[in-house]
Amino acid sequence: MKNTANDYVIRILDSPLAIDAAAWNGLLAAQSPNGILNPFMRHEYLAALHTSGSATPATGWTPCFVTLWQGSTLAGACALYLKAHSYGEYVFDWAWANAYQQHGLNYYPKAVAAVPFTPVPGARLLARNAGERLLLVQALVAWCEAEKLSSLHLLFADGEDVTACEQAGLMLRHTVQFHWNGPPAGYGDFNDFLMSLNQEKRKKIRQERRKVADAGIAFRWSQGRDISQADWDFFYRCYERTYLEHGNAPYLSRDFFQCMQSAMPENWLLFVAEHGQQAIAASLIAVSASPVGASGGFDDEARQVQGAGQPVRGMSAYGRYWGALARVDCLHFEACYYQPLEWCIAHGFDKFEGGAQGEHKMARALLPVKTTSAHWLAHPSFADAIERFLEREGAGIDDYMTELEQRSPFKSQPAHNPLAP
């Protein structure tokens, strides 16, 4: 597709490997005020999903990456997939698909702009400016119309994406996640953080941590290239077993994590739980990497820029994957929340995202935040019905957020509370 007035050309590519990694990552860096790359939108991450066989046509994810070109310059890009199902998205539209089926219509294939299996908010429409971002989303809709697809869905979009989608006439849908945000001055240590909580929550966390310690469990962590091959292998053994225990094969293959180890090690932090000399569980955390640092050394270099002892604004950690070979009371909370939070405080990271859903995270000081997706449906009657549904659902989300605000675990609402408008 070509826009002759501005000499823009839209090209649809069937693999992330068809896009230059430096050009993609350059656009991604431009979406962040401090240039820090969202690790899950890095070209290396998306390419690994493809080359490892985790997100491919065989698993129901057919890549149709939309790119916007001005001459030979990549001006915009979007990771778009044709989907034959709704697994691995975390914004649930099964009821919409069922309604289509009951009326003798095909809901699949649909188009999804998202990071497969990764419910982390971030930029979905990579562009140099607002005008090109709007042009990109308009091109997405036009392509879906030309391909006679039922719908288009941009999942876990950031604020600039949402603005462009609204301008293009897409409908918005909200869900709730739970994130931890450190205060502007940071915390001195984990105990300092605990003292900001009310007595009930502080006591609960200490009790849960004591149960793990009394069971003889100790933790060690490693980061970047310090994560050994043996530790990566052990982590995957835990991760795979936990999925299988729930009756499902894991979304991500061992080859995917091998790609992470080789292509972007600076974005990974591993906690291993040990009983005596025996490793029994592992938690893998994704972390932002500072644009000022070389791989593996981003923490110290970032602190030199910010000032010793100060939180690195915009540096985030993301709770992602975990697994265990033994059952220990409260081990999941320790491995997936308390150890990462203690690490974030010690290393000056000011945000920890706990993943999709999970109201129980509030008791661990992760506060609710709204996440947003945008949707376009080709069928006018279904679009009208879903728009009315989203209005009702949105009002319910607002009420839910108000209810959660009354249950803050903090002694008083902190100034950095993301619940505040």
* Token digits of residue 148: 């006679």
- For 412, residues 6+ apart whose C-beta sits below 8 A from its C-beta are none
Phi, psi of 351 (to 5 degrees): -150, 140
Per DSSP bridges, beta strands 80-83 and 8-13 are: unpaired
| Residue in 84, 87, 39, 86 with CA at minimum distance from that of residue 249 | 87
Q: From the centroid of its chain, how far is CA 193?
A: 24
Say what the pLDDT of residue 384 is: 97
* Token digits of residue 413: 């609402």
Phi, psi of 174 (to 5 degrees): -120, 145
| Residue in 181, 118, 173 with CA at minimum distance from that of residue 370 | 173
Query: Could you read off the pLDDT tens digit of each residue along the chain, which spans 421 residues?
Result: 665 456 899 999 999 999 999 999 999 999 988 878 899 999 999 999 999 999 999 999 999 999 999 999 999 999 999 999 999 999 999 999 999 999 999 999 999 999 999 999 999 999 999 999 999 999 999 999 999 999 999 999 999 999 999 999 999 999 999 999 998 888 999 999 999 999 999 999 999 999 999 999 999 999 999 999 999 999 999 999 999 998 989 999 999 999 999 999 999 999 999 999 999 999 999 999 755 433 333 444 333 333 334 555 678 999 999 999 999 999 999 999 999 999 999 999 999 998 777 888 998 999 999 999 999 999 999 999 999 999 999 999 999 999 998 899 998 755 444 444 3
CA distance readout (Å), 49 to 56, 60, 233, 254, 386: 8, 13, 18, 11, 31
Helix (H) or strand (E) run with residue 76 in it:
strand 73-78
Are 31 and 77 within 8 A, CB to CB? no
Q: How far apart are CA 211 and CA 220, in angstroms?
A: 18
Say what the pLDDT of residue 312 is: 56
Q: Where are the alpha helices (DSSP H) in 14-171?
A: 21-30, 43-51, 94-102, 130-146, 159-167
List the domains of the chain with CATH numbers.
2-169 (3.40.630.30), 180-367 (3.40.630.30)
Q: From the centroid of its chain, how far is CA 15?
A: 21
- For 263, residues 6+ apart whose C-beta sits below 8 A from its C-beta are 44, 47, 48
Read off the pTM. 0.91
The predicted-structure confidence for 297-314, as pLDDT tens digits, reads as follows 344 433 333 333 455 567
CA distance readout (Å), 168 to 125, 136, 138, 329, 376: 13, 10, 6, 49, 9
Q: How far apart are CA 256 and CA 116, in angstroms?
A: 12
DSSP state of 366: P
